[in-house]
């Protein structure tokens, strides 16, 4: 049985906030909160990213492409970058 947590819902919108939700030897799940106008710092990652937008929209820039991911009221949008 799983425990339900409000960790994502309780995360503050204060510039950039990052919380590690899960980390195993095969995956890592982060909750990233960006205040409107905030920028995530340039960085490298050894793996691909899966982005799920819960509110608003984000322009995700990688070395391969630029992707705009938008939230719709019907469902959140999943982007692979």
pLDDT tens-digit map of 54-81: 788 888 887 778 888 877 655 544 555 4
Residues 50 and 74 in one domain: yes
CA–CA distances in Å: residue 45 to residues 14, 62, 63, 66: 24, 10, 11, 16
Q: Residues 25, 47: one domain?
A: no
For residues 52 and 71, membership in a common domain is answered with yes
Residue 79: strand pairing partners: 51
What is the model's pTM? 0.64
| Residues spanned by the domain of 20 | 1-38
> In the 8-state DSSP scheme, what is residue 56?
S
8 plus 29 within the same structural domain: yes
Identify whether residues 7 and 32 lie together within a single domain. Answer: yes
DSSP state at residue 37? T
How does residue 32 score in pLDDT terms, banded at 50, 70 and 90?
A: confident
Tell me, yes or no, whether 29 and 59 share the same domain. no
């Amino acid at each position: 049985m799983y425990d339900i947590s409000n960790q994502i819902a309780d995360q503050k919108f204060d510039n950039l906030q990052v919380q590690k939700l899960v980390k195993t030897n095969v995956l890592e799940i982060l909750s990233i909160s960006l205040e409107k106008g905030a920028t995530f710092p340039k960085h490298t990652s050894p793996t691909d990213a899966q982005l799920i937008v819960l509110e608003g929209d984000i322009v995700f820039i990688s070395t391969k492409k630029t992707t705009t991911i938008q939230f719709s009221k019907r469902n959140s949008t999943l982007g692979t970058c």
